[in-house]
Amino acid sequence: MTDAEVLAGRVLDRLTASGELTPAWSAAFAAVPRHRFIPDTIWIADGAGLVPLHRCEDPHEWLQRAYASAAVITQVDDGHPVGPGERGRYITSSASHPGVVALMLAAVDAQPGMRVLEIGTGTGYNAAVLAHRLGAGKVTSIEIDAQIADHARRALASTGYPVTVITGDGAEGYPTHAPYDRIVSTAAVRQVPYAWVEQTHPGGKIVTPWGTPYHNGALVCFTVTSDGTAEGRIVGDVAFMRLRGQRFRATIDDDQCDETTARTRHTTLAPYCVTSEYDASLAIGMKVPNCAPIYVPADYYPDCARLWFIDPITGSWANLVHRPDTSTYPVHQSGPRNLWDEIENAYHWWCDAGRPGPQRWRITVTAAGQQVTLTTTSTVAQPTA
């Protein structure tokens, strides 16, 4: 056996033993060689940026990472690394963690012969797994980045998987091959494009990572009804890069984020309560729009760590100063919004609501827009605001 076959077998055994890989997808996982879809240059996070790893320079390390239990960074900065020596700042494309691929395919529940549209071709690996199970001519994949799309076409052709790869904006879907039985997105959305609903058969499913600027970590499965509505529920915990048209990049501007001119108060609500609890941060993101948290550790500042909250749309910001072994935390706020006040109120609302988990949320998409509701134990939807 080749090294690649040994590593692929270990991945298959691991996913099977953990229960992440369902029997329906086992044959496809076993058949599709993941490393054949990984570009020759990948990137590694080293604490000081994203450093390139070239296959020709270290083929052993490259192959190990191709089959590791982790995502593989395959593009940075939209294909134009901003740092010296091809160092990158932002991850803009990757091959997903094998376990995440298995989770999403299980949620898609696509059967042989179904027609599937994939949003975000990436390396082409996921499309190949779909094509192996569904059959020739059943998978269409759309990729916004022309260079990435070209790589996927070559990889799919060389491995013998007949997938139609379109270069275009996945937010628009691909009406030429519609309607689809399934649409699966490998890019996260804040707003589910209604074009996806329009292009899905009634009774069909849409599976996509979904989130807010505050919390990007939910896999949602929608079912499309005959009246053109999609009803979704959260079925997993995943974090993906967003559709390019729905990116939300919040940064700390040292010139504008001046603590000496900010409004000051104190809180006893610990920072981990509002960022480290999945259920709480999910709820806060629902209640506090256009706000992203950024944690800056103590080694960056001369005194202590800070948890920042940024709204780049209004220019509002807040931070919570975190010193170890304390129970009261200074808070600074600036701009038209008091972001910390909103976050604190949202956290207490979540507590008062019984600390609901992801299974209580429902997301509805219609031609008029998207609505998120919190269901009661009797599954009666109640507006969140």
Q: pLDDT tens digits for 160-209?
A: 999 999 999 999 999 999 999 999 999 999 999 999 999 999 999 999 99
Question: Is the separation of the CB atoms in 211 and 218 below 8 Å?
Answer: yes
The yes-or-no verdict on residue 32 having pLDDT over 60 is yes
The yes-or-no verdict on residue 346 having pLDDT over 90 is yes
The yes-or-no verdict on residue 383 having pLDDT over 60 is no
The residue from 94, 96, 141, 334 that is catalytic is 94
* Cα distance between residue 239 and residue 247, in whole Å: 13
298: confidence class by pLDDT, cuts 50, 70, 90: confident
385: confidence class by pLDDT, cuts 50, 70, 90: very low
Q: pLDDT tens digits for 105-153?
A: 999 999 999 999 999 999 999 999 999 999 999 999 999 999 999 999 9
* Cα distance between residue 232 and residue 225, in whole Å: 11
The yes-or-no verdict on residue 49 having pLDDT over 80 is yes
What are the residue boundaries of the structural domains of the chain, listed by start? 3-236, 259-352
CATH number of 259-352: 3.30.160
pTM: 0.92
Rounded to the nearest integer, the mean pLDDT of the chain is: 94
CATH superfamily of 3-236: Vaccinia Virus protein VP39 (3.40.50.150)
Cα separations in angstroms, 32 against 4, 11, 160: 11, 12, 10
Cβ-count burial of 111 within 10 angstroms (0-12 exposed, 13-18 middle, 19+ buried)? exposed
Asked if 94 is an active-site residue, the reply is: yes
Q: pLDDT tens digits for 248-282?
A: 989 888 778 899 899 999 999 999 999 999 999 99
If one compares 255 and 216, the residue with the highest pLDDT of the two is: 216
Q: Read off the pLDDT of each residue in 307-333 and give the average, rounded to a whole number.
A: 93
pLDDT of 384: 42
